[in-house]
Chains A and B, each alone.
Chain A
Amino acid sequence: MTSAVKVRKVGTDKPPTRASKFLQNRWAGLAGLLIALLAPFVNASPYALSVMTSAAVFVMLAAGLNIVVGYCGLLDLGYVAFFAVGAYTSGVLATRFDLPLPVTVPFVIVVTVIAGIVIGAPTLRLRSDYLAIVTLGFGEIIRITANNLDVTGGPSGIYGIPHLTESPVVFYYLTVVVVSLAVVGAARLGRSRLGRAWRFVREDEDAAEAMGVNTYRVKLAAYIAGAVWGGLAGVLFAAHLSAISPTSFTFLQSALVLMAVVLGGMGSIPGVVVGAVVISLLPEILRDLADYRFFLFGVLLIVVMLLRPQGLWPARSREVS
């Protein structure tokens, strides 16, 4: 019995609540976008903009990981590897070859696809928990390599990455637009033929195989899609911070992205967005508590999960009657 099967069963046994009906409504997405677009009119201090931009980038990361974990049911503990690959690829090209950031995007896509294949191809036949440790290992390998090589700037990383725009407000809106497109793209991918195959694999890999789905290729596709999303988020990250260093790509970061996905509700796009916003903003809201900040963060995570074990905004499978 795979764990994924169990996960779904619990999820679908639940009668549709008011909340899960609401999520089917595409107004929810528009409302979220509206909040994001209007937020700067409420508060456009450099601090608020910086935090909100980071949150938007984090949403994109979570949307990418959701393809891997939420749709396809592959536990990935090293997702930050792709984020790092994207950020470093664009950072290195922008600073060492003086390419403008948008020009680096095609390179980033190529490199992350390769990274997805390299990491995915030998490992996707593993059982879920072994897959978890292998992805964790790859995440650490990427970070340590970036820390040791000269081309990536060693431990101090790459600095002086040109900003996309001078104004943080414009950059924030740019980020929101890109991230919205990425989120919508991920959602559409989830509803496509490939997306159905992903969920089939997640629900029951053997049955999928028996029905003629090439499960290995389907899983690899999920991995590559997740890698590209992560890599592009890395470009935004590099443009936002203007400097990247290995400390941004630790295992903890992978764990946080995974938490965003699970906290929101695996496989549910609105859930993942809400989860990512909560995970990235909560430590900032708690910033003034100084010493107790992460203590409270931990306690709140437990409390939220105890109250809503399916996630804040769980997915409702349409296939199940």
Chain B
Amino acid sequence: MTQLVWNGLFVGSFYALVALGYSMVYGIIKLLNFAHGDLYMLGAFAGFAILGAVGGVSASMALPVLLMVLVATMLLTGLAGVALERIAYRPLRGAPRLSLLITAVGASFALEYGMRAAAGADPRVYPVRLGGTSLEVLGARLTLQQLVLVGVAVALMVGLNTLITRTREGRAMRAIALDPRTSSLMGVDVNAVISRTFFLGSALAGAAGVMAGAYYGKIDFLMGFLIGLKAFTAAVIGGIGNIPGTMLGGLLLGLLESFGTFWLGGEWRDVFAFGVLILFLTVRPTGLLGERVTERV
């Protein structure tokens, strides 16, 4: 039982990290950024390339080196996210919202198959692996490395939440989310803030990519697709646009999958997860923590 909970929380923290970027971008410009999962993939490959350039790493140094790689990758994918917004989304800001969906899917294809052309279709294996021996906690088996990864994920999420709720920057983001036009009249540089939002969201996805690469080991050019879908689901469960809700949503989806596998078997897991999601949304149509917005005209 505790094992199931732990499995769910561990997977869920990856979902939450990726979902945050989804949710932030949605919150601020109401865009479903379908290319977001591919930034996760990009992060995994960027980390792979950096580790390859660094060369041989001894086992004892694995964690510190990985943390440095993590930071470098976050910078890289953050910049990639900014570039993506600049090229594919910003020119369409006045266009129908669904037009952005097309460029997002287009960007997703371009990133996936561009990476395929660059790195090949074969899966790659990380040179540094977080293996480790497992320890028993309350009847659940977990490893120190898992704990570290969850710790990093939580730290990143808490940091993000502080940034958004406590700083000037965060206030500007929230202002734009409410009303971009008025915010710009009030002196907020809307474009700059949106760029920074993309930077943050993409950096988090990149971080999740490196962590997944280092823990699971295998990366390939389509690895972002499924997790992008899961992250979108998690963001919606939590109440899309709401940061703490999104984190909860990610963890909840992880738990749903873990228990679904246990109760119904792997082949019905996604049916279970989506079924619960649909039932839940019919009862609570705005997600876990989504605000009850009266639709204004």
Contacts and interface: CB of A to CB of B under 8 A. Distances in A.
A162 B145 CA distance: 56
B92 A306 contact: yes
B277 A144 contact: no
B285 A127 contact: yes
Interface of A: 1-3, 5-7, 10-11, 69, 75, 122-123, 125-127, 129-130, 132-134, 136-138, 140-141, 144-145, 147-148, 204-207, 251, 255, 258-259, 262-263, 266, 291-295, 297-302, 305-306, 309-311
A291 B116 contact: yes
Nearest to B87: A302
Contact of B295 (A145, A148, A205, A302): A205
A301 B109 contact: yes
Contact of B96 (A129, A130, A134, A309): A309
Contact of A310 (B95, B105, B236, B240): B95
A3 B97 contact: yes
Given A141-B275, A144-B271, A300-B106, A10 B95 contact: yes
Interface string B83-95: 0000110011011
Contacts, number: 160
A310 B96 contact: yes
B102 interface: yes
B32 interface: yes
Nearest to A301: B106
Given A75-B98, A129-B240, A148-B268, A298 B287 contact: no
Given A295-B110, A300-B106, A130 B117 contact: no
Contacts of A137: 233, 274-275, 277-278
Interface of B: 26, 30, 32, 34, 87-88, 91-92, 94-99, 101-103, 105-114, 116-117, 229, 232-233, 236, 240, 267-268, 270-271, 274-275, 277-278, 281-282, 285-287, 293, 295-297
A253 to B, nearest CB: 12
A86 to B, nearest CB: 20
28 contacts: A3-B97, A10-B94, A126-B281, A126-B285, A127-B293, A130-B281, A130-B285, A137-B233, A140-B270, A140-B271, A141-B270, A144-B268, A148-B267, A206-B297, A262-B96, A262-B102, A291-B113, A291-B117, A294-B112, A297-B113, A298-B106, A298-B109, A298-B112, A301-B102, A305-B92, A305-B99, A306-B88, A309-B99
A10 B286 CA distance: 27
Contacts of B97: 3, 6-7
A204 B275 CA distance: 30
Given A295-B114, A301-B103, 17 more contacts: A7-B98, A122-B282, A127-B285, A134-B277, A136-B229, A137-B277, A140-B271, A140-B274, A141-B271, A144-B267, A144-B270, A292-B117, A295-B117, A297-B106, A302-B87, A302-B88, A309-B95
A2 to B, nearest CB: 5
